[in-house]
Amino acid sequence: MQSSIIETPRDRARAPTEAGPSRLRTVTGNRFPRKCACGCGREIPRDPEIRLVVDFGAARPYPAYLREHSPDFGSYRASPRGGACR
């Protein structure tokens, strides 16, 4: 019996890329002292209240950034969609 596999657009969207997608997430608390992955050399202190950005799409150990140094800092614009709120 011969089966054919048909690739759908949905399957193509799930296919991994060569470098892997960036999965940046903001987390609170740093249990281990580490350096910022942006290359500035600043230490991210051990602090349960600190907010930092971690790239869970990268290989372990996951790179961590100070929030202001993350690759997507400032790219989010909380502006209303549509003209109703203008």
Residue 17, both tokens? 């890329």
Residue 83 falls inside a structural domain: no
Structural domain harbouring 55: 21-69
First to last CA, the chain: 62
Checking if the pLDDT of 42 tops 70, the result is yes
Domain assignment present for 47: yes
The answer to whether the pTM exceeds 0.75 is no
Average of per-residue pLDDT values in the chain? 76
Give phi and psi for 68, each to the nearest 5: -70, -15
Q: Which two tokens stand for residue 16?
A: 């991994």
Could you read off the pLDDT of 44-66 as tens digits, one per residue? 999 999 999 999 999 999 999 99
Percentage above 70 pLDDT, the chain = 62
pLDDT for the residue numbered 13: 46
Angstrom distances, CA of residue 11 to CA of 6, 15, 16, 17:
9, 6, 10, 13
Number of domains in the chain: 1
What is the model's pLDDT at position 4?
A: 56
Q: Which residues, in sequence order, are CB contacts of 26 under 8 Å at separation 6+?
A: 51, 52, 53, 67
Is residue 75 one of the residues assigned to a domain? no
